[in-house]
Amino acid sequence: MTTKPKLLVVELWGLGDLVIATPFLRAATEKFEVTLVSKPYGRDLRDRFWPGVRVLPFLAPWTTFKHKYRLYDWPWREILRMRKLVGRGQFEVSLSARWDPRDHFLLAAGRARRRLGFPRLRSAMFLTDPLERPAPEAHRYEYWRVLGRTLGLDLPDREKFPVPGLHPPRREILIHTGAGQAVRVWPLAKVGKLAAQLRAKNFPVQIACDPDQYAAWQAVGETNVVVPQSVTELLGLIDRAAAFVGNDSGPGHLAALCGVPTMTLFGSQLAEWFAPLHPASEWLEGKSCPYKPCSDYCRFPRPFCLQNTSEEEVWQRLEVFLARHCRREA
């Protein structure tokens, strides 16, 4: 039996970023023995979506939102341990889909014969195969497609991305009110009104939220609200849903990967960059702003690009969306 060459993949950022990498990881396992360095929930995704991938969990300190460059607080022992692990891997190929010199330094530590990436700030010195970035308006998935083509992997177009069907038929609407950062969160009061409208139309609604939002939901008397403690628990909620409504965040990407149609409320980011990978995914763009896209750092006291989106605007789009994908309870 022919031994597959070893491939190291680095994706250290959020849940949504890792979900977007899924088509590449699936295709890569056909030709390579794949090792992935990711946040710990990569193991949960591995069990469900790419069981042939070995996962090395790593919480890179530079991926935190605040105080990421307090070097004296960095877990240096864990960093050195990870450097040794990838250095012992004897990888033929290593790569990252981010134009991040820190990723490229980690690739260089693995000493693979080929190191693929999108250089920035002279990080080409760490790469053997510096690649040209896709067009500025391209979706994040296109970076994985460029890497795939370089390795002879055939990844589908985003518009033709295959997703599983929903069996058996489902009716529940899953609303997730959390996000990685506060600037991406549509106000909970508006979400509550939206949930009431759905229930008035005989749609069963399940609300999921981040831990810091749970008390607020309890305070307004919302009883059908849960806080998923892991990606596996979140998948259990998604597996009951006929449709997903939420912010620009990882849970929406995960729902789309599971075949659930998604409605995403965008604010500071651009849908053409981060829309979930599902042919039936839809979204509502945030209000215009001279600084948009501005990632997760808003220059104003509040992110009006998202918070000024009204319940009426969302309901008009959502009602049409649900008419296409869901049926109400009798």
> Which residue range is the domain that position 246 belongs to?
172-325
Question: How many other C-beta atoms lie within 10 A of the C-beta of residue 197?
Answer: 17
Rg (CA), the chain: 21
- How far is 112 from 126, CA to CA, in rounded Å? 11
Do 59 and 202 have their domain in common? no
Strands annotated E in 29-79 = 33-38, 54-57
Among 78, 130, 139, 132, residue whose Cα is nearest residue 107: 130
What is the pLDDT at residue 314? Answer: 96
266 is a domain residue: yes
Among 218, 215, 238, 214, residue whose Cα is nearest residue 227: 214
pTM: 0.93
Do 146 and 215 have their domain in common? no
How would residue 329 be classed by pLDDT, with cut points 50, 70 and 90? low
Do 115 and 11 have their domain in common? yes
Q: What is the mean pLDDT of residues 100-104?
A: 92
Most confidently modeled of 109-113, 186-190, 296-300?
Answer: 186-190
What's the CATH number where 59 sits? 3.40.50.2000
Do 145 and 196 have their domain in common? no
Both structure tokens of 264: 């995403």
CB under 8 Å to 203, separation ≥6 — which residues?
171, 172, 173, 322, 326, 328, 329
Q: How many Å separate Cα 278 from the centre of its chain?
A: 13
Contact by Cβ (8 Å): 130, 104 = no
Do 70 and 176 have their domain in common? no
Do 198 and 309 have their domain in common? yes
pLDDT in tens, 163-213: 777 767 778 999 999 998 889 999 999 999 999 999 999 999 999 999 999
Do 150 and 182 have their domain in common? no
Do 197 and 129 have their domain in common? no
330 is a domain residue: no
The β-bridge partners of 55 are 36
Do 149 and 192 have their domain in common? no
pLDDT at residue 1 greater than cutoff 80 = no
The β-bridge partners of 174 are 206, 244
Do 151 and 182 have their domain in common? no
Do 52 and 180 have their domain in common? no
Do 219 and 92 have their domain in common? no
